[in-house]
């Protein structure tokens, strides 16, 4: 009985205030529709597919639609596999950038002590989760060879990625990339 009285009082109050009823209906309707709208519009921050982008630009979720003048030309960087084979198949490329006896740790502090870039490529993920070391070594080779514009990626960016591999690299405030995310980004700079 008490429940029926409360329902009658609510109906009585709501019938006196049509604005309140319309607001209530709007809120209830928006509460159902809003998550659908938000879900439909989301996409990966790393999957922008808009050419050669810096880490901060790649991390921007709305970048793909922010400027139409952005180039769709992909970066010309090469993969870890290309650089691993470079000493045999592309010896001139390998020697021109001075990569023959470069230790990984001379570029990336504390990384793979005593191992050359080529030895890091050869790890194939053993002791190199997500092949972060291999991708950073390839990114260094690409940087040295001028295959990725310095305005997109430079040595300080690469070193910051390595230094923050465990704590998370932040290309822009509020966005954190870990090893897998860094590798995903670096792959966008390689053709």
Same domain, 6 and 63: no
Any domain includes 47 = no
Same domain, 17 and 103: no
Q: Is 126 exposed, middle or buried (0-12, 13-18, 19+ CB in 10 A)?
A: exposed
Evaluate whether 123 touches 178 at the Cβ level (below 8 Å): no
Same domain, 12 and 70: no
Same domain, 144 and 100: yes
Q: pLDDT tens digit string along 2-12?
A: 555 555 555 55
Same domain, 157 and 126: yes
Same domain, 19 and 96: no
Same domain, 59 and 35: no
Q: What pLDDT was estimated at residue 28? A: 52
Domain that holds residue 59: 55-188
Any domain includes 176 = yes
Q: Average per-residue pLDDT in the chain?
A: 76
| Residue 54 pLDDT greater than 90, yes or no | no
Q: What pLDDT was estimated at residue 150? A: 84
Any domain includes 154 = yes
Same domain, 77 and 113: yes
Same domain, 90 and 182: yes
When pLDDT is averaged across residues 30-43 and rounded to a whole number, the result is 40
Q: What pLDDT was estimated at residue 61? A: 47
Any domain includes 20 = yes
Describe the chain by its helix, strand, coil percentages, rounded to 5: 55, 5, 40
**How far apart are alpha carbons 171 and 61 in whole angstroms?**
12
Evaluate whether 173 touches 56 at the Cβ level (below 8 Å): no
Q: What pLDDT was estimated at residue 25? A: 56
Domain count, the chain: 2
Q: pLDDT tens digit string along 142-164?
A: 999 999 988 888 999 999 999 99
Same domain, 63 and 10: no
Instruction: Tell if the pTM clears 0.75, that is, is over it.
Output: no
| Residue 166 pLDDT greater than 60, yes or no | yes
Please give the structure tokens belonging to residue 164: 């923050």
Please give the structure tokens belonging to residue 110: 């504390």
Same domain, 115 and 27: no
Any domain includes 181 = yes
Same domain, 90 and 157: yes
């Amino acid at each position: 009985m008490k429940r029926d009285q409360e329902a009658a009082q609510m109906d009585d109050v709501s019938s006196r205030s049509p604005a309140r009823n319309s607001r209530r209906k709007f809120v209830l309707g928006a509460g159902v529709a809003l998550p659908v709208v938000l879900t439909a519009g989301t996409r990966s921050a790393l999957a922008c597919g808009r050419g050669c982008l810096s880490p901060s630009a790649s991390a921007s979720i709305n970048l793909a639609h922010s400027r139409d003048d952005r180039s769709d030309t992909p970066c010309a960087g090469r993969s870890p596999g290309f650089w691993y084979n470079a000493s045999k198949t592309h010896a001139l490329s390998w020697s021109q950038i001075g990569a023959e006896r470069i230790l990984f740790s001379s570029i990336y502090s504390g990384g793979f002590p005593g191992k050359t870039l080529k030895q890091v490529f050869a790890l194939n993920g053993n002791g190199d989760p997500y092949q972060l070391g291999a991708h950073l070594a390839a990114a260094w080779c690409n940087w040295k060879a001028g295959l990725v514009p310095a305005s997109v990626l430079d040595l300080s960016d690469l070193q910051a990625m390595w230094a923050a591999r465990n704590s998370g690299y932040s290309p822009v405030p509020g966005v954190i990339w870990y090893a897998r995310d860094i590798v995903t980004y670096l792959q966008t700079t390689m053709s």
